[in-house]
């Protein structure tokens, strides 16, 4: 059974799950902390590029992030996010993006065989 959750609630949950502050997430996305607060309350929306960056950061696909299902993300890479800086988040995002691409390619390879 799936729980229907709003995008803002999901972003808030994922952010808190890994110990990120609204401020560092805002810096990562290039917006103000107050904007992140409003996004989490579903009063504002992020653009596609920002959503894509969030999906990479949280180790999920854009579809998983935007779905109304209660998805917790692949936060293994970020289990100790407290004290991380902007550059750390960028590296984690790149690594997660590579892992997602490799997973996709492995799936294609299995389908070909």
Quote the mean pLDDT of the chain: 83
| DSSP sequence for the chain | -PPP--HHHHHHHHHHHTT--HHHHHHHHTS-HHHHHHHHTTSS---HHHHHHHHHHHTS-HHHHHSSS-----GGGGTT-TT--HHHHHHHHHHHHHHHHHHHHHHHHHHH-
**Confidence at 31, pLDDT banded by 50, 70, 90:** very high
CATH code that applies to domain 7-112: 1.10.260.40
Contact 55, 62 (CB under 8 A): yes
**Per residue in 38-88, pLDDT tens?**
999 999 999 999 999 998 888 888 888 888 776 665 554 555 556 778 888
Phi-psi region of 16 (alpha: psi -120 to 50; beta: other; left: phi over 0): alpha
Residues 75-102, mean pLDDT to the nearest whole number: 74
Give percent above pLDDT 90 in the chain.
Answer: 36
Give percent above pLDDT 70 in the chain.
Answer: 86
pLDDT value, residue 1: 41
Q: Where are the domains of the chain?
A: 7-112
User: For residues 109 and 41, which has the higher predicted lDDT (pLDDT)?
Assistant: 41
């Amino acid at each position: 059974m799936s729980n229907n959750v709003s995008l803002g609630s999901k972003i808030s949950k994922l952010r808190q799950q890994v110990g990120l502050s609204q401020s560092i997430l805002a810096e990562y996305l290039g917006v103000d902390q107050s904007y992140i607060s409003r996004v989490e309350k579903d009063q504002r929306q992020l653009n596609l590029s920002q959503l894509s960056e969030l999906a990479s950061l949280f180790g999920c696909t854009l579809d998983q992030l935007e779905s109304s299902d209660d998805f917790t993300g692949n936060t293994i890479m970020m289990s100790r996010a407290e004290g991380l800086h902007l550059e750390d988040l960028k590296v984690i995002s790149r690594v997660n993006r590579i892992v997602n691409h490799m997973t996709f390619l492995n799936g294609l390879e299995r389908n070909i065989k």
